[in-house]
Amino acid sequence: MTDRPFDPYVRDCPTRQLLDRIGDRWTVLVVGTLTGGPLRFSEIARRVDGVSQKMLTQTLRALERDGLVTRTHHPEIPPRVEYELTEAGRTLQEPLRALEDWATVHMAGVLSAREGYDAAV
């Protein structure tokens, strides 16, 4: 244990739990999708290719629980629900964009390394 109040290397530390949430692939994609403003569930599902309804529901609930997304129910007919990044959620945009940029810049090298590794095993 360290002297830090929150140590992400300790299994039950809340910081580690939050890092697990932020590092989840669906979280990264949902936050990226919501950077343009509020969206309905179906719009998010359309933009995040491959996410199941169950996984998207779980991800949005977890993000809402962590205070990164708000869910707004509009009492209309038919009912309309929108999801939007909170102020805290918006602060994630820059570091996640940096990760996306890193992946884009290094993708060719990663693919080459994979080919070399796969050929050797």
Chain segment 33-43, per-residue pLDDT in tens? 999 999 999 99
In the prediction, which pLDDT does 111 show? 97
Query: Tell me: the pLDDT tens digits for 2-22?
Result: 556 788 888 888 988 889 899
Of the pLDDT bands very low, low, confident and very high (cuts 50, 70, 90), residue 45 is very high
Q: Tell me the Ramachandran region of residue 30: left when phi exceeds 0, alpha when psi lies from -120 to 50, beta otherwise.
A: alpha
**Domain architecture of the chain: domains with CATH:** 14-120 (1.10.10.10)
In the predicted structure, residue 112 carries a pLDDT above the cut 90: yes
Query: Tell me: the pLDDT tens digits for 68-85?
Result: 999 999 988 888 999 999
